[in-house]
Chains A and B, each alone.
Chain A
Amino acid sequence: MKTVKASEITNLVEKLCIEACCVITGDIENKFKCCLETEKSPLGKQVIGTLLENAKIAREELSPMCQDTGVTVVFVKMGQNVQIEGGFIEDAINQGVRQGYEKGYLRKSVVRSPIERTNTGDNTPAVIHYEIVSDDVFHITVSPKGFGSENKSALKMLTPSEGVEGVKKFVIDTVSAAGGNPCPPIIVGVGIGGTMEKAAYMSKKALLRPLDEQNPDPTLAELEAELLTEINKLGIGPAGFGGTTTALAVNILTYATHIAGLPVSVNIGCHATRHAEGSL
């Protein structure tokens, strides 16, 4: 049995909030550098150069890359035998968010009620997803999600007869309609199958897959490559000013689904698709 202290969870979440907002992940930064070479539009190249410069400033000054430090999405992967000591896990996570957003000078962008809309003042509550696993692990990924890109995400319940062609069309249509708003070059998370909420969850989780890692399923890897090529033909380009780099990657997750359904969800991540992870 593994024991994790609530205070350790708080400290880890605090650190990960700041790191995720201020330090771009290496895989994305490397991809920017590749695209700087391949992008055909001179203006597009300048945009990518600016994003690299911005990432450097943010990392060196420990300032947020983007002022929209988002809703704090937290993925918890926890062994079934792990015991939390000294407090409720959810309170510990939210305290970490509170401290991270205060100490990191991150913007507080969360409103208490979607109808009445008063800012909570500390960016809580986080949106927390728990995954129970058999191993003795306690792993947290913090992924602050800005709404420039979140607002352009979409879900559709396709029919089985629409098949993979229907899936492709929906993904491309969603990216096309998003245009320059989600701060391209984007990362496209796609969830296919399951139920409505499972597809949405998978599309968000898919955004976390490192860009230098292939999809382990060869059929899906091929579908990802095909979608990426098609998306980059849309012409949207860096910042939407036109160009050949509209997306950096398409990441797909799938799950078993019903004989009568084909749910598809597309979660768009901005060029930074911020996240940071750590274990206890």
Chain B
Amino acid sequence: MNINKKDKDRITSSPPSGDLGGKRILSAPFTDETIRSLKSGDMVYISGTVYTARDAAHKRLYEMIQRSEPMPFDFKGQAVYYAGPAPAKPGKPIGSVGPTTSGRMDAYSPTLIAEGLKVMIGKGTRSAEVIDALKTHTGVYFAAIGGAAALMANCVLSAEVIAFDELGTEAIRKLEVKELPVVVAVDCQGNDVYESGRDMYKL
């Protein structure tokens, strides 16, 4: 998970997707085939496009679905990152950007998953309903490391607000990321690292 400079340089010259030196780099957006290949507890790196959305944006997306309105971006294969970044310093695309607690999105996620937004990045456990929806729709929930936000900001190549600008930090941003480090928390079979990891080390 620790990317030192040498590794970074090595990865830069590698193809956008695949295994390299034990590090698995996934290209986003995702195919069902990729999602099916992921196992809970695997550490992987995401390169490509992800969209930020947290509490307020989720509420709006959910309400727009209820009203059958078009979504601000095509959900197919796309990943949503539960994050509200700190302001960008001059010359930087984004400020510190770590994951927020995913559980607060649980009320909306099954509806969004059914609409096609079935790759999520956040932190913390998910509800049984969300896990069921991942199994039904071949989705995956990744956990980013809470608090490692300065490190993750350095994985962001560009950021652009694409919807709900008035929500400030909670706006939907389209990010281009390179080797964003994440762990497969819940895979499409419903295996949950928060449960299995805890069971393994419980004394």
A, B co-complexed: yes
A interface residues, Cβ below 8 angstroms from B:
40-41, 43-44, 46-47, 49-54, 57-58, 61, 63-69, 105-109, 119, 148, 151, 179-181, 183, 233-237, 239-244, 270-272
B61 on the A face (CB < 8 A): no
Q: Are A181 and B201 touching (Cβ within 8 A)?
A: no
Q: Are A53 and B96 touching (Cβ within 8 A)?
A: no
Contact status of A242 and B196, CB under 8 A, knowing A43-B43, A107-B85, A181-B124: yes
By a CB distance below 8 angstroms, the chain A residues around B95 are 63-64, 67, 105, 107
Q: Are A58 and B150 touching (Cβ within 8 A)?
A: yes
Q: Are B84 and A50 touching (Cβ within 8 A)?
A: no
**Interface pairs (28), CB distance under 8 Å:** A43-B41, A43-B43, A46-B2, A46-B43, A50-B1, A53-B151, A54-B151, A57-B150, A66-B149, A67-B86, A67-B95, A67-B98, A69-B86, A105-B95, A148-B146, A151-B101, A179-B125, A180-B194, A234-B202, A235-B203, A237-B198, A240-B197, A241-B143, A241-B194, A242-B201, A243-B197, A270-B146, A271-B147
By a CB distance below 8 angstroms, the chain A residues around B97 are 67
Report how far A119 CA is from B98 CA in the complex, Å. Answer: 20
B18 on the A face (CB < 8 A): no
By a CB distance below 8 angstroms, the chain B residues around A119 are 168
Q: Are B147 and A179 touching (Cβ within 8 A)?
A: no
By a CB distance below 8 angstroms, the chain B residues around A41 are 197, 200-201
Choose among B96, B146, B168, B201 the residue that contacts A243 (Cβ–Cβ < 8 A).
B201
By a CB distance below 8 angstroms, the chain A residues around B96 are 58, 63-67, 107
CB of B106 to closest CB in A, whole Å: 12
Report how far A50 CA is from B201 CA in the complex, Å. Answer: 20
Mark contacts of B72-110 with chain A using CB atoms, 8 A cut-off: 1 yes-contact digit, 0 otherwise: 000000000001111111000001111011010000000
| Given A52-B2, A179-B194, 16 extra CB contacts under 8 A | A43-B43, A50-B145, A51-B148, A63-B86, A66-B149, A106-B86, A107-B84, A180-B125, A180-B146, A233-B203, A235-B199, A235-B202, A239-B146, A241-B41, A242-B198, A270-B147
Report how far A212 CA is from B198 CA in the complex, Å. Answer: 28
Contact status of A64 and B145, CB under 8 A, knowing A41-B197, A237-B201: no
Residue from A69, A179, A242 with most neighbouring chain B CB atoms (10 Å): A242
Q: Are A57 and B151 touching (Cβ within 8 A)?
A: yes
Q: Are B1 and A46 touching (Cβ within 8 A)?
A: yes
Choose among B147, B154, B183 the residue that contacts A43 (Cβ–Cβ < 8 A).
B183
By a CB distance below 8 angstroms, the chain A residues around B84 are 67-68, 107
By a CB distance below 8 angstroms, the chain B residues around A57 are 150-151, 154
CB of A275 to closest CB in B, whole Å: 15
Residue from A69, A148, A240, A272 with most neighbouring chain B CB atoms (10 Å): A240
CB of B184 to closest CB in A, whole Å: 10
By a CB distance below 8 angstroms, the chain B residues around A105 are 86-89, 95
Give chain B interface residues in 16-72, CB to chain A under 8 Å: 41, 43
CB of B161 to closest CB in A, whole Å: 15
By a CB distance below 8 angstroms, the chain B residues around A64 are 86, 95-96, 149-150
Contact status of A68 and B2, CB under 8 A, knowing A53-B151, A235-B197: no
Contact status of A63 and B181, CB under 8 A, knowing A46-B43, A51-B147: no
Report how far A184 CA is from B178 CA in the complex, Å. Answer: 25
By a CB distance below 8 angstroms, the chain B residues around A52 are 2
CB of B137 to closest CB in A, whole Å: 24
| 10 interchain residue pairs of minimum CB distance | A242-B197, A235-B202, A183-B146, A235-B201, A46-B1, A233-B203, A58-B150, A181-B124, A54-B148, A54-B151
Report how far A69 CA is from B96 CA in the complex, Å. Answer: 10
CB of A126 to closest CB in B, whole Å: 18
Q: Are B123 and A148 touching (Cβ within 8 A)?
A: yes
Contact status of A179 and B124, CB under 8 A, knowing A43-B41, A43-B183, A50-B148: yes
By a CB distance below 8 angstroms, the chain B residues around A43 are 41, 43, 183, 197
Give chain B interface residues in 113-160, CB to chain A under 8 Å: 123-125, 143, 145-151, 153-154
CB of A62 to closest CB in B, whole Å: 9
